[in-house]
A and B are shown apart, each in its own frame.
Chain A
Amino acid sequence: MTPEPLRFEGREVPVLDGDTVASALFRAGVRTFSRSLKNHRRRGLYCGSGECPNCALTVDGVPGVRSCITPAESGMRVERGRGWPSAEHDLLHVADLAHTLMPVGFYLKTFIRPRFAWGMAERVIRRATGWGRLPLDAPAARTVARHARCDTIVVGAGIAGLTEALEAAEGGEQVLLCDEFAIGSRLAPGPTLDAVRALETRARATPAIQILERHAALGLFDGPMVPLATSDELVQVRADRVVVATGATESHQLFPGNDLPGVMLGRAASAMAALHGVPVGRRVVVVASTAEGVEHLRVLVATGARVVALVPAAFVDEVPHEAEAILDGELVEARGHGHLRSVIVREVGERRRIACDALVLSTGLRPRDELARMAVDEPVRLVGDAALEADEPWLGGGYLCLCEDVALHDAEQAWAEGFRSAEILKRYTTATMGPCKGAMCGHALACFARGRADAGDARSGTRPTARPPLRPVALQTLAAPVHEVIEKRTGLHDMHVAAGAALGWSSGWKSPIAYADPADEYRAVRERVGLMDVGTLGRFLIGGRDATTLADAVFAGRVVDLAPGRSRYVLALDEGGYVVDDGLLCTLEDGSYLLTSTSGGAERMDARLREWAERLGLHVHLLDRTSELGAILVAGPRARDLVGGLTEDPIDAASLPYPGHRELTVAGVPCRAIRSGFVGELAFELHHPRSNGPKLWASLQRAGRDLGVSPFGLEALELLRLEKGHVYLGQDSLPDDTPVKLGLARAVDMTKPWFVGKAALERLAELPPTRRLSGLVFEDATDGAGLRGVPLTVGSAVVGRVTSAERSPVLERAIGLGWIRRARDGFPDELRAGNTVARVVPTPFYDREGTRVRD
């Protein structure tokens, strides 16, 4: 079935079976495929292998598509990128006429003043030099990411690659063989293709060889790991060995006129003629100095064109008799205006002009060794043409870098200005910095520098560093293995959603911020009773015979005297004396401990406990119970009434004192009730099996209706704890905060012989404290809005920062916490926070004696 024609700039272009977008357009007479970046010179098909920028078109709205390797599909919409008003008639071509006004690096010496003009200039430049418009309203396509593992990965499925893969498989290895195209698809019929097909048949019959066609290798990473990309898949291949069999490109030679449409490399011309049946010209000059070149010559002669062949004398017998042979001739120049019209050849010392409409060059090979050059220490081997020594390029003139429109004389000018190594020439001229990343021109640039450098200066001629990606890759493909933050949920999540709570991110958990009006929720807790899902807290079981030793070591305070049924606020420090996390330690009936930690610090606390158990060689059993246990905070003056009504167990102040804990059955659910002081009211944390959470929550809500119960979320919590001056680690603390700086010295017992961080605290105690967290009242502010994060100043000097700020209904003013640096004569207590005066006050702001908590 014949595919439907392409839609190309308002006309229909027929498509034959096997066509690429480029071959269909070429057959229809298109010769200018793009305009060059800077000078807007016409560019035509050149390399035929997707490596040079010339054939890049916008296909179905996607710019930068290499049309010479993209199969043509029914109804594709194709347009050229640069050029105004069109690529065919491009007024911006004046740039080429004015190119002497824009020498290499000119934009580094101009466009400085007037500064306002830059905005306008940038817009014009972007339009003139862009690849095309991104289809921003295109629907996001799906890209799959997966991992693969093998013993050897072979990149490139030509003769060398297939041979290596078969050998490795025979040696018992699991092999992954990949190629950016379908195997053999770029070869014209002939002996090479036959050899490839024979090897391919054997490879496909070998189970140990996994073949991934149309997968382009993007680079080589530590591992070694080679990512392979298609348009909708990213495969990250981890191998023990890497074999690079990526072959070689035909040499890009530099001579005047080398970028004219009509000048092509041998493989491009040969593929166009033999694979797609389109002759590249009627009068073709072929320069063939390799065996491969002779094969291309034969293909081109067979198209019926008049061929003049420039070959070395040794090849005289290879030239088909239909072609005119010029032996040991030298190509001097290609001439034409917008398209090739003739070439100048030097033949036995005499210059001769040959009229032609195609110049085909097959003069040598440059190895595609970028992958291997990315390796630092990885087991990587080059085989086949990829292992060749590149030939010496002609440096006669013309364009060095096609992508960035850098001519050879631009490089000469840069050298004259003092930029004298391949690396610095690259950065100054931008040669090799285009989409082909030096595939065509990197070698020539290095040879240019080497040729001019002083003998003995080995470094100036080194190829610039090879960097990924080797092939253009969509950001969406690179993003495929990247996932968003892992969302943790408590067992009550669905109930919060059903209740219409506003959920938000907090320390990796999806938690209710508020159910309705946070001000109402706050009032419920202060005046009646509130319920909060605190199942996000870290919970740990610390058991085993050395449990107390571990707790004594890890926590800064005294724990050896903590009796069963009692709990204590504890701080975990690191060896620098800095606060890692805080929590509540509860001694259980059998002498083991239940530890709670902050929601965000659970992983850190777990790691810390395990680290010191290992370092001290302790026999302990650590179990992370965070997922397993739900927890509901019942807080407020009526909390005891609420819980008491649902349990037969005694919870009066004597049976469950503060600070303490005990087992309770509440609404039929087995719980451990821990008295909590965080929100500044009588409160019970009910820790229970996760699966019983919904039943417990519902029972508390039902039973609490007459008591005026209300669920409350993180926003109300923020104000409740702030009125008590309680520190939120991570919000109010800095990474180098010690207990003294946070006002938590009471949680430290310096009489203990040792604990983690003690030595640092002792040393720090010898110095006056330099910073501390303080309570603040903001005199002129009505609420805390916009105060958090504001610098605290004395005069014009910044001496601190506000870390928390809210309006306190109890004090009827804005309060907060902030850290303040010590001045020469002590800590200032009158400061400014933006527009308001900030006064240091002692904390807590509310219920200073803590009588409500201790009820």
Chain B
Amino acid sequence: MTLEIACPNCGARPHTEFAFGGEDRPHAAPDPATEFERVFYPANVEGPQRERWYHALGCRSWFVVTRDTRTNRIG
């Protein structure tokens, strides 16, 4: 499989250069009442999902991408 991901610094690269960082759950001001839910109950959408990727074998920067979890299409 050769999914391509567009790193904002380096451009489109094969997904094997990246590490997946999970659903993007915005880091809000710490509120104990909601923090547990935020961490342990991800939305897990079927459809476009905002998620974090790390360009491990490239510029080593983190960025957010929207990927459709049904089709693997990004953007």
> Which residues of A pack against B, CB within 8 Å?
221-223, 225, 236, 238, 376-377, 575-576, 603, 606-607, 610-611, 614-616, 753-754, 758-760, 762-763
Chain A residues near B44: list those with CB within 8 A. none
- Nearest CB of A to B20, in Å: 11
A223 touches B2 (CB 8 A): yes
A222 touches B56 (CB 8 A): no
B window 28-75: CB within 8 A of A: 30, 32, 35-36, 39-40, 52, 54, 56, 60-62, 71-73
Chain A residues near B35: list those with CB within 8 A. 759
Q: List 24 A-B contacts (CB under 8 A).
A: A221-B2, A222-B1, A222-B3, A222-B72, A223-B1, A223-B3, A225-B1, A575-B39, A576-B40, A603-B56, A606-B60, A607-B54, A607-B56, A610-B54, A610-B61, A611-B52, A611-B62, A616-B27, A754-B30, A758-B30, A759-B30, A760-B36, A762-B32, A763-B36
- Nearest CB of B to A611, in Å: 5
Assembly CA distance A850 to B3 (angstroms)? 53
Q: Which residue of A lies closest to B15 (CB)?
A: A222
Say which size band chain B's interface belongs to: 20 to 34
Assembly CA distance A377 to B62 (angstroms)? 28
Q: Which residue of A lies closest to B73 (CB)?
A: A377
Q: Which residue of A lies closest to B36 (CB)?
A: A763
Chain A residues near B39: list those with CB within 8 A. 575-576, 759-760
- Nearest CB of B to A508, in Å: 14
> Which residues of B pack against A, CB within 8 Å?
1-4, 19, 21, 27, 30, 32, 35-36, 39-40, 52, 54, 56, 60-62, 71-73
Assembly CA distance A331 to B2 (angstroms)? 49
Assembly CA distance A221 to B1 (angstroms)? 6
B54 touches A238 (CB 8 A): no
Top 5 A-B pairs, shortest CB-CB distance: A759-B35, A223-B2, A222-B1, A614-B62, A225-B2
Chain B residues near A615: list those with CB within 8 A. 27, 62
Chain A residues near B36: list those with CB within 8 A. 759-760, 763
B4 touches A223 (CB 8 A): yes
A610 touches B71 (CB 8 A): no
A611 touches B54 (CB 8 A): yes
- Nearest CB of A to B40, in Å: 7
- Nearest CB of B to A177, in Å: 21
A759 touches B60 (CB 8 A): no
A614 touches B2 (CB 8 A): no
Assembly CA distance A366 to B75 (angstroms)? 38
Chain B residues near A760: list those with CB within 8 A. 36, 39-40
Chain B residues near A754: list those with CB within 8 A. 30
Assembly CA distance A771 to B64 (angstroms)? 36
Q: Which residue of A lies closest to B35 (CB)?
A: A759
Interface centre among B35, B71, B73 (most CB of A within 10 A): B35
Assembly CA distance A82 to B4 (angstroms)? 46
- Nearest CB of A to B21, in Å: 7
Assembly CA distance A349 to B47 (angstroms)? 62
- Nearest CB of A to B71, in Å: 6
B62 touches A610 (CB 8 A): yes
Chain B residues near A238: list those with CB within 8 A. 2
Chain A residues near B32: list those with CB within 8 A. 759, 762
Q: Which residue of A lies closest to B25 (CB)?
A: A575
Q: Which residue of A lies closest to B27 (CB)?
A: A615
Assembly CA distance A377 to B1 (angstroms)? 13
Chain A residues near B61: list those with CB within 8 A. 610, 614
Q: Which residue of B lies closest to A754 (CB)?
A: B30
Assembly CA distance A222 to B52 (angstroms)? 21
Q: Which residue of B lies closest to A622 (CB)?
A: B60
Q: Which residue of B lies closest to A575 (CB)?
A: B39
- Nearest CB of B to A498, in Å: 33
Assembly CA distance A575 to B36 (angstroms)? 9
Interface centre among B2, B71, B73 (most CB of A within 10 A): B2
Assembly CA distance A143 to B18 (angstroms)? 27
Assembly CA distance A763 to B38 (angstroms)? 13
Assembly CA distance A222 to B73 (angstroms)? 10
Assembly CA distance A575 to B62 (angstroms)? 17
Q: Which residue of A lies closest to B22 (CB)?
A: A575
B62 touches A222 (CB 8 A): no
Interface centre among B3, B21, B39, B71 (most CB of A within 10 A): B39
Q: Which residue of B lies closest to A606 (CB)?
A: B60
Assembly CA distance A606 to B54 (angstroms)? 11
Chain B residues near A376: list those with CB within 8 A. 71
Assembly CA distance A683 to B2 (angstroms)? 48
Chain B residues near A576: list those with CB within 8 A. 39-40
A610 touches B60 (CB 8 A): yes
- Nearest CB of B to A139, in Å: 31
- Nearest CB of A to B68, in Å: 10
- Nearest CB of B to A794, in Å: 31
Assembly CA distance A134 to B4 (angstroms)? 38
Assembly CA distance A376 to B72 (angstroms)? 11
Q: Which residue of A lies closest to B33 (CB)?
A: A759
Assembly CA distance A377 to B73 (angstroms)? 9
A222 touches B2 (CB 8 A): yes
